[in-house]
Structure 1
Amino acid sequence: MTDPALPTVLVVACALVDIDGRVLIAQRPQGKALAGLWEFPGGKVEPGERPEAALIRELDEELGIQVTEACLAPFVFASHAYDSFHLLMPLYLCRRWSGVVTQREHAALAWVKPSKLADYPMPPADAPLVAWLRDLL
């Protein structure tokens, strides 16, 4: 059982899906927790910020793309207890954006078929989302 005193951290993530049905994943850079692991782009929701607004902001900051709220479809969520906090992470699907996906903050980016996502090591909170993407995309 986890410690009920652990703070809950709300993080939003996005499975960007291209015209070929591939999903974008990003490799965490050196110097960050869980460096080298692959994740879905996104980030923390700031106090007073709506999850969709946070995701739109994060996708612009991390990848240089513009997404509208209408193009974000709630998909599934992850709930995972780390040692010092509990992570709650809604994952949105997005098939439409403007701009060119650019590597700004990550060590690498990869467009991956859903059936191959399990080949990439992911943080414990992201890994369970792979089965949903594989089975439903």
Structure 2
Amino acid sequence: MTAAYRTQVVGAALLDDARRPTAFLAAQRTYPEELRGLWEFPGGKQEPHESCEQALVRECAEELGVDVELLTEVPGPHAQGWPLKDTAAMRVWTAVASCGEPLPVVGEDHLAVRWLPLDDPAAALALPWIPADLPIVHALLDHLAR
């Protein structure tokens, strides 16, 4: 039996189009100081009263100011997704902004947001990612290439 992580984190690989995506969104962390300036998938912690999917929809609304439609999960190596540290793991879904939504906004959680082209994976991989998110970037690129 695989041990459970105490903290469940959720992240969105927000795509520019559900049928023929050409880019995904990355967000640059504001805090904590040791992660400031590094890139990540937008998202956050699941609250006890919500599912992972509900948490991700809520986090995208709070952080980016957009309502999202979740598409498919990017499977991780653990039942709870991608291990981040000894106590936390993150599940990641591809998603798109609901019809008519504005472009994502930069809120207090991020210094910047950037669309990364899928036809240039090297550009996405060249960003200084939070170390725990980098394997997820590789998996996302493989997931979308299929």
For residue 16 of structure 1, what is the aligned residue in structure 2? 14
Report if the CA contact (8 A) 2:68-2:96 is conserved.
Answer: no
Of residues 117, 123, 140, the one that matches 1:133 is 140
Q: CA deviation at 1:75?
A: 1.8
1:104 equivalent in alignment to 2:107: yes
For residue 118 of structure 1, what is the aligned residue in structure 2? 125
**Cα distance in 2 for residues equivalent to 1:113 and 1:65:** 20
Report if the CA contact (8 A) 2:66-2:97 is conserved.
Answer: no
Q: CA deviation at 1:16?
A: 0.6
For residue 74 of structure 1, what is the aligned residue in structure 2? 73
**Cα distance in 1 for residues equivalent to 2:43 and 2:50:** 14
Residues 1:135 and 1:72: Cα distance change in structure 2 (over 3 Å): closer
Report if the CA contact (8 A) 1:13-1:40 is conserved.
Answer: yes
Q: CA deviation at 1:32?
A: 4.7
Report if the CA contact (8 A) 2:24-2:117 is conserved.
Answer: yes
Report if the CA contact (8 A) 1:15-1:94 is conserved.
Answer: yes
Q: Deviations over 1:23-64 (max 9, x none)?
A: 100000145551111000000001121101100100000111
Unaligned runs of 5+ in 2: 77-81
**Cα distance in 2 for residues equivalent to 1:92 and 1:17:** 10
Unaligned runs of 5+ in 1: none
TM-score (ref. length: structure 1): 0.82
**Cα distance in 2 for residues equivalent to 1:31 and 1:74:** 27
Residues 1:33 and 1:128: Cα distance change in structure 2 (over 3 Å): same
TM-score (ref. length: structure 2): 0.77
Q: CA deviation at 1:95?
A: 3.0
Q: CA deviation at 1:86?
A: 2.4
Residues 1:30 and 1:48: Cα distance change in structure 2 (over 3 Å): closer
